[in-house]
A and B are shown apart, each in its own frame.
Chain A
Amino acid sequence: MPEPGRKVRPRRRPSRLRRSEARAGYLFIAPWCIGLLIFTVISMSWSLVLSFQHYDVASGTGTPAGLDNYRLLASDPTVGKSLGNTLFYAVLAVPLDILLALLLACLLNGIGRGSGLFRTLFYLPKMTPTVATASVFLLLLNGNSGAINTVLRLFGINGPQWLADPNWMKPSIVVMTLWSVGGSTIILLAALQNVPREYYEAAATDGASPAQQFLRITVPLVSPTLFFLTIVNTIAALQVFDQSYLLFYRDGNASVPDAARFYGVYLYQQAFEQFNFGRAAAMAWLLFVIILVITAIQMRVSRRMVFYEGGDR
């Protein structure tokens, strides 16, 4: 009931055009919504259910397991080892990827003629299938005859046994990851090109050195992009699977020290070698929570470090 004395605006029926537009809009987004529902919402919900079950793949039925699958994770040292490997990789790969991408983006930003060609060249590895990249890196990283160690020898450095020495297995995967730094480079290049030239001109007039300009103008203005890359690259690094699997587990023979067993690989082994789907689902949810926590920490830290034009900082 409307309050006495309050003016009630009569509800106007949407025009036929607006209704038609709304219908079209819903139709356009329907495929995405259906995809999200089926491939994300339902399947994630089901995997959560699965993580609390002893799932029998033969009969397609599950029996309640309570927290058993999660308890097993806590008592399995390989879970800890594989998580440690994954975090080590992420800590190494993410900063290196971003630093290298920033360096390359700055170089590309300074090029006038031919920048399109270089942009394409840098982006090409990103478009190469990981299987093809791994095949090349198996040759490049050979400790005796690989091109990387051959180049190192020219400088008097006896390169490591990248693929055979457990201490160098994770760095070898980082090296392979850096091969596709082009993706981050192109994103950072776009951010760099949005930094107004006038800022640099004004800073130069005030006597700021190139290093000062970089630290005081470039970095703050591209910090939202750097933050975005940090978030997405960290998430991807924590889910690393294909590089390790292709370099070390490609023949199905796990003749690999634990040093190369990442969390994603162990999850895969639990699901598709041991058929422990409940446990694999629990592992997936544990990883989800870890990623959530790390992302939340990054978001909190970003409040003090990321500069948004027009924002509080």
Chain B
Amino acid sequence: MAGGRSVLGVVVAAALLTVGCNPAAQDEPGAASASSSGFSTQLSGTLRTGGFNPSDEVARSRSDLATRAVSPVKVSMDTTEFDAQKFAAQAASGQVPDLLSVDRTVVGTLADKGLIRPLEQCFSLHGVRPAQQYYPAAIKDVTYDRHIYGVPQSFQTSMLIGNKRVMAKAGVTAAQLDTSRPDALVGIARKMYHASNGRPDVLGLDLDLPGSSAMWLKVFGGAPMDDEGRPTLDDSKNVQALTWMKKVMDAQGGYASIKSFKDSMDVFGDQNQYVTDEVGAQTWGQWYANVLSNTQDKVSPVGVPVKSVSGQSIGFAGGTALVVPKGSRNPSAACSWAIKATSVDAWVAAGRARAQKVKAEGAINTGLFTASPPADRAVRRQFVKSSGNADFDQLVNASYTTLENPVSFGGSAAGKAISDALSNAVSVSLAGEKTPAQALKDAQADATRAWQQTAVGKHA
């Protein structure tokens, strides 16, 4: 029972940090002169980054290229993941990093609280046109009150990855994993599902709930929020979507049992669920193809892009973005580094490093999925070649197909609250505590309350 005091402790500690002093952001001595909201190409001083971890060859090569490009700036990295609690304490004491890598769902909240800077001037200084350089869906994620606050990095679209062995056993074809015919998919899920003693041993169709619930709303033509970032969770199309999600889960023994079954899977290991035939089809971000390639001789995957009920392919994705905190002491270096690290050159360097690693290990190059269409095209053209494994070649090609119509969660000052409210609605509805309509109605009330407390919400 110990340790419960930690929350009170951190709140008062954060408060305490504000007792002392909160020096107005002072530019790094020697850093190029830049107005509080401005950026410059004259670079010097030190750049302190947070949340960016160059632990693999992709991140390392991008980081190296960007660091060379901002020379003579000295780059110092805090490689731990973005931690809002830590950031709040840093902001209160005026000691924020100059550049942060964060999940795009929190960009709207950070912008609403005035914690990060708009980046139009940064883009313009480096001749970058965001609408051309990045997927519009990724830009939408980092747009708040009509200003762009983040430089999008990755764009990992989701799709269904089928297990051909389980599918064949159940007499299901890849063409039948058609999300534009959701009612038929309930029967397909039931067909592939198998249980022993009331416990599942083969999961037919995993919708990745509640993680991917926003994508399924989009499949049904719904959305968690409108273009202004205002929650729209109780929209009738969303209710249809959640009702269908529940049907799929109930056809396979119910959400609770499925969740426990999934929790026991060796998702990243040699005995993953595709090796052990514990799954018929699952919803995954493109990155999972790379995980599966580690067991390429033991798995037989097939990639199926997700389609909306109107038959259009949907490439739903989240990802991270680089943001410049308002208290950054070296915003010019931060801006330059972020632009260089997400440039086509950086991604090509990353693609080359990945290709070399894959070749050395005899693995399969499943591609890099960035937030930049020209970078995606360049990397695919130069480095993603046929692997000789027909299943994986199909999987990689299907992944690239999803980029034809990229969509995302959207940006909002209450983005995290909307996401949490949706997840909660999905969980309570699947658990049978509330009907889908009631769950979404309550979620809408929660999200609206959070939205109304934001600066932009109060204004609206």
Task: Tell me whether A108 is interfacial, beta carbon within 8 Å.
Answer: no
Task: Tell me whether A222 is interfacial, beta carbon within 8 Å.
Answer: no
Contacts of B5 in A (CB 8 A): 236, 239
Report how far A253 CA is from B264 CA in the complex, Å: 19
Query: With A164-B255, A256-B427, A276-B453 as given contacts, are A58 and B260 in contact (CB-CB < 8 Å)?
Result: no
Task: Tell me whether A271 is interfacial, beta carbon within 8 Å.
Answer: yes
Assess the B10–A158 pair: CB atoms within 8 A.
Answer: no
Assess the B263–A240 pair: CB atoms within 8 A.
Answer: no
Contacts of B417 in A (CB 8 A): 273-274
Task: Tell me whether A198 is interfacial, beta carbon within 8 Å.
Answer: no
Partner of B113, one of A56, A158, A180: A56
Report how far A236 CA is from B207 CA in the complex, Å: 38
Contacts of A130 in B (CB 8 A): 2-3
Minimum CB distance partner of B417 in chain A: A274
Task: Tell me whether A46 is interfacial, beta carbon within 8 Å.
Answer: yes
| B-contact 0/1 string along A270-285, CB 8 Å cutoff | 0111111100110010
Report how far A142 CA is from B256 CA in the complex, Å: 10
B contact patch SS: helix
Least CB distance from B252 to A in Å reads 13
Instruction: Name B252-270 residues within 8 Å CB distance of A.
Output: 255-257, 259-261, 263-264
Query: With A236-B1, A268-B10, A277-B11 as given contacts, are A58 and B113 in contact (CB-CB < 8 Å)?
Result: yes
Task: Tell me whether A187 is interfacial, beta carbon within 8 Å.
Answer: no
Task: Tell me whether B420 is interfacial, beta carbon within 8 Å.
Answer: yes
Assess the B4–A239 pair: CB atoms within 8 A.
Answer: yes
Instruction: Name B1-33 residues within 8 Å CB distance of A.
Output: 1-8, 10-16, 18-19, 22
Assess the B115–A267 pair: CB atoms within 8 A.
Answer: no
Give how many A-B residue pairs fall within 8 Å (CB-CB).
188
Assess the B423–A239 pair: CB atoms within 8 A.
Answer: no
Report how far A269 CA is from B259 CA in the complex, Å: 24
Report how far A262 CA is from B20 CA in the complex, Å: 31
Contacts of A180 in B (CB 8 A): 1-2
Contacts of B449 in A (CB 8 A): 76
Assess the B4–A57 pair: CB atoms within 8 A.
Answer: no
Contacts of A166 in B (CB 8 A): 427-428, 431, 433
Task: Tell me whether A201 is interfacial, beta carbon within 8 Å.
Answer: no
Residues of A within 8 A of B (CB-CB), count: 69
Assess the A164–B4 pair: CB atoms within 8 A.
Answer: no
Contacts of B257 in A (CB 8 A): 143-144, 161, 164
Contacts of B13 in A (CB 8 A): 39, 43
Assess the A275–B15 pair: CB atoms within 8 A.
Answer: no
Instruction: Name B402-457 residues within 8 Å CB distance of A.
Output: 416-417, 419-420, 423-424, 426-428, 431, 433, 445-446, 449-450, 453
Partner of A46, one of B19, B264, B420, B423: B19
Task: Tell me whether B388 is interfacial, beta carbon within 8 Å.
Answer: no
Assess the B3–A242 pair: CB atoms within 8 A.
Answer: yes
User: Which of A146, A242, A267: most chain B Cβ within 10 A?
Assistant: A242
| A-contact 0/1 string along B180-195, CB 8 Å cutoff | 0000000000000000
Please tell me which stretch of B43-51, B87-95, B140-148 contacts chain A, meaning at least 4 of its Cβ atoms lie within 8 angstroms of it. Answer: B87-95
Report how far A259 CA is from B450 CA in the complex, Å: 19
Instruction: Name A54-112 residues within 8 Å CB distance of B.
Output: 55-61, 72, 76-78, 93, 97
Contacts of A273 in B (CB 8 A): 84, 106, 109, 416-417
Assess the B211–A241 pair: CB atoms within 8 A.
Answer: no
Task: Tell me whether B198 is interfacial, beta carbon within 8 Å.
Answer: yes
Least CB distance from A200 to B in Å reads 31
Assess the B113–A287 pair: CB atoms within 8 A.
Answer: no
Residues of B within 8 A of A (CB-CB), count: 61
Query: With A163-B259, A177-B1 as given contacts, are A46 and B200 in contact (CB-CB < 8 Å)?
Result: no
Report how far A163 CA is from B259 CA in the complex, Å: 9
Contacts of B198 in A (CB 8 A): 158
Task: Tell me whether B72 is interfacial, beta carbon within 8 Å.
Answer: no
Contacts of A42 in B (CB 8 A): 16, 19
Report how far A258 CA is from B450 CA in the complex, Å: 16
Assess the B16–A43 pair: CB atoms within 8 A.
Answer: yes
Assess the B256–A39 pair: CB atoms within 8 A.
Answer: no
Contacts of A239 in B (CB 8 A): 4-5, 7-8
Assess the A60–B94 pair: CB atoms within 8 A.
Answer: yes
Task: Tell me whether A226 is interfacial, beta carbon within 8 Å.
Answer: no
Minimum CB distance partner of B454 in chain A: A274
19 A-B contact pairs sorted by A residue (CB < 8 Å): A39-B13, A44-B12, A46-B16, A57-B115, A58-B115, A60-B18, A60-B91, A142-B260, A142-B264, A144-B257, A236-B2, A239-B5, A241-B6, A255-B426, A269-B420, A271-B88, A272-B10, A275-B109, A284-B7
B residues near A, CB below 8 A? 1-8, 10-16, 18-19, 22, 84-85, 88, 91-92, 94, 106, 109, 113-115, 198-200, 209-211, 255-257, 259-261, 263-264, 326-327, 416-417, 419-420, 423-424, 426-428, 431, 433, 445-446, 449-450, 453
A residues near B, CB below 8 A? 38-39, 42-44, 46-47, 50, 55-61, 72, 76-78, 93, 97, 126, 130, 138, 142-146, 158, 161, 163-166, 177, 180, 183, 233, 236-242, 253-258, 264-265, 267-269, 271-277, 280-281, 284, 287-288
